[in-house]
Chains A and B, each alone.
Chain A
Amino acid sequence: MKDMKISAKNVQVYYGDTHAIKDVSVEIEDNTVTAFIGPSGCGKSTFLRCLNRMNDTIDICRVEGDILLDGEDIYDKRVDPVQLRAKVGMVFQKPNPFPKSIYDNIAYGPRIHGLARNKAELDEIVEKSLRRGAIWDEVKDRLHAPGTGLSGGQQQRLCIARAVATEPEVLLMDEPCSALDPIATAQVEELIDELRQSYSVVIVTHSMQQAARVSQKTAFFHLGNLVEYDDTTKIFTNPEDPRTESYITGRIG
């Protein structure tokens, strides 16, 4: 049994009057890839964004319930979301490199969090992160070229490397492959599997095959409810809830 990294209890999310997440409780393990699947608009991305309080940037969004990271309530008044997000990194649906050089993209996080004492250390962090992002070999000769000049798959791996550079404990990924072609997708999936060694990874995905390929645990969301949460193999071979089964077999979605 692995450690519990994040545990959410009775989480409710409202967008203005809309009840977007209804009473969701879930335990996310360390060193595991957890996949959130479900039809569009089921709340899986919303829930993901609760885990590092990205929803704070949306005025009308309101979160109730407890979300604990290593036993500490992340919605506690004393918690600074900035400090939280340093621990819980995020990779987005569309690759969003900053309009800076590749080097500066990676160095951005370490700089704002003060992770490097000097230029040499920063160089080291950048190299390590790019290696972890499995993109080092492709960009090592043009670290000072703009990050926006890379291809889509490279950009997304750059964004993953950027997230890794701040040494988070949890990595949230919101459909990281939806904008990528199959080859780039395969590269990113391979990367996710490697990242599992060091982090707890939570991935929202539209593709059931992807969930089956990369994750160990899967949660199925439907209309704001968490329908079923179990080992990935169990969900895909022997789901308990009929709704899960319908979704897996392609009848709803």
Chain B
Amino acid sequence: MSDASLQNGPEMGTPRAKSSLLELDQRTKKRNAAEARFRAYGIAAIAVGLVFLVVLISSIFFKGVGAFQQTFITLDVELLESKLDKTGERDIEKIKKVTTFGYNPLIENALKAAMEEAGVENPFAKGKDLRKMLSSGAAADLRDFVIANPDRIGDTVQFRLLASSRVDGYLKGRVTRESLARDKNLTPVHLDVVDQLKDAGVVAKSFNLGFITGADASESRPEQAGIGVSMLGSFYMMLVVLACALPIGVAASIYLEEFAPQNWITDLIEVNISNLAAVPSIVFGILGLAVFIQFAHLPQSAPLVGGLVLTLMTLPTIIISTRASLKSVPPSIREAALGIGASKMQTVFHHVLPLAMPGILTGTIIGLAQALGETAPLLLIGMVGYIASNYPGGLIEGFMSPNSAMPAQIYEWAKRADPAYYERAWGGIIILLVFLMTMNIIAIILRRRFERRW
């Protein structure tokens, strides 16, 4: 060390004692421990996040997968002419006059016959008690069959009828003899019968197509409820969102990114867009209720209105992503086109827009996925779950007649008292997530496939 002093400062304190690099001093050890702790916090944070994800996904799966299986009771039902068509004229109008009550005895007979065949003793005095094993919708299924095929009256036809939700729950382990102690709908005695019928192959679980294609059912018939109709409602809404949000979003982005002058109006629009992106979705529901229904008198609960509300909600998302992909097209492309005498409009529509298209589509799909999962605004414009009990008649009706949407249907099921509906709700979530996953995968593929690095 030189001992020459500095002109503009006092000599520094004595330098630290020479220490070897190869030995960690005490302080460094402490600091390294702090470092390791800090790093551990980070890993823990990520692990916690991922554990939540795993718990969430696995509860969705385990709680929902049951909805795709349903218990059916296979019965040979004799369609007695004496009950269904006393006159024997096969007059469809008269056959229609027989209500579902008229079909109940047929079902009771068929059940008794099936039990006899399986060697099961009938513990019930009343046929009505026996019928409790079946869904109350079973008679309606029979009636629909007879009305569609009046010529089969008098025959014995094999039907696969829905078991009641309690029986279904018993086979799935949700319902036990203890839980039936105070249940009005089924007794443990029924379960003994079910056990024996199950061994005989009369009662069995199988794939539940009705859940995917069916309509919502009343509160007392969870075994019949399906998500099909509200799926259609969601589908029509997505059509509206796609048809409105994509063109408007792209047009708005083109203006803001390519043409807008730097002035306060442009600033106002931009601030508006970024604020709208963060406005709670329920506020859009209020907007839809006040503007589309109160003011413009559009029909309540219609997928058209739902679609319009979701359009307004997703527009900011689409505009933000579209602007980003327009921005990523390098200025040299624009200059090249302008340089050979294309007008600004031609430059944008012939060169910039096609190059930005994959990014725009990706953003749109992600916006659609967001709209598909949204619930709160739909509740306000009346797209509540119990409405989804009839298929829309045609295209126009699909847009205009009251319907629900998948998330609203799930919410409706979650609200119902019968725990059998929780299973439906989780099952609905699986279907919803399958859609969302598909959309996101398409978006990822689009991005991978067409991503261009300039």
Contacts and interface: CB of A to CB of B under 8 A. Distances in A.
23 contacts: A31-B2, A72-B20, A74-B21, A78-B22, A79-B21, A80-B32, A83-B21, A83-B25, A83-B28, A84-B21, A87-B21, A128-B12, A128-B13, A132-B12, A134-B8, A136-B8, A167-B12, A169-B15, A194-B6, A197-B5, A197-B6, A198-B1, A198-B12
A80 B24 contact: yes
A56 interface: no
Interface string A70-107: 10101010111011100100000000000000000000
Contacts of A30: 1
B10 interface: yes
A131 interface: yes
Contact of A131 (B8, B13, B24): B8
A74 B20 CA distance: 10
Contacts of A70: 18, 21
A215 B21 CA distance: 27
Interface string B53-69: 00000000000000000
A112 interface: yes
Given A80-B32, A131-B9, A198-B2, 14 more contacts: A30-B1, A31-B1, A72-B20, A72-B21, A74-B21, A76-B21, A76-B22, A82-B31, A83-B21, A83-B28, A125-B13, A131-B8, A131-B10, A198-B6
A114 interface: yes
Listed residue (A30, A134, A136, A198) with the most chain B CB atoms within 10 angstroms of its CB = A198
B28 A194 contact: no
The 6 closest A-B pairs by CB, nearest first: A131-B9, A72-B21, A197-B4, A78-B22, A197-B2, A79-B21
Given A131-B9, A136-B8, A194-B6, A80 B1 contact: no
A69 interface: yes
Given A31-B1, A167-B12, A167-B15, A79 B6 contact: no
B263 interface: no
Interface of B: 1-2, 4-10, 12-13, 15-16, 18, 20-25, 27-28, 31-32
Contacts of A140: none
A234 interface: no
Give the contact-size bracket for chain A.
20 to 34
B29 to A, nearest CB: 9
Contacts of A112: 31
Nearest to A114: B27
A19 interface: no
A167 B156 CA distance: 100
Contacts of B7: 194
Nearest to B18: A70
A126 B89 CA distance: 110
A167 B20 CA distance: 16
A213 interface: no
A72 B5 CA distance: 29
A230 B389 CA distance: 91
B8 A82 contact: no
A197 B32 CA distance: 33
A195 to B, nearest CB: 9
A167 B16 contact: yes
A144 interface: no
B9 A69 contact: no
B39 to A, nearest CB: 14
B18 to A, nearest CB: 8
Contacts of A79: 21-22
A70 B15 CA distance: 15
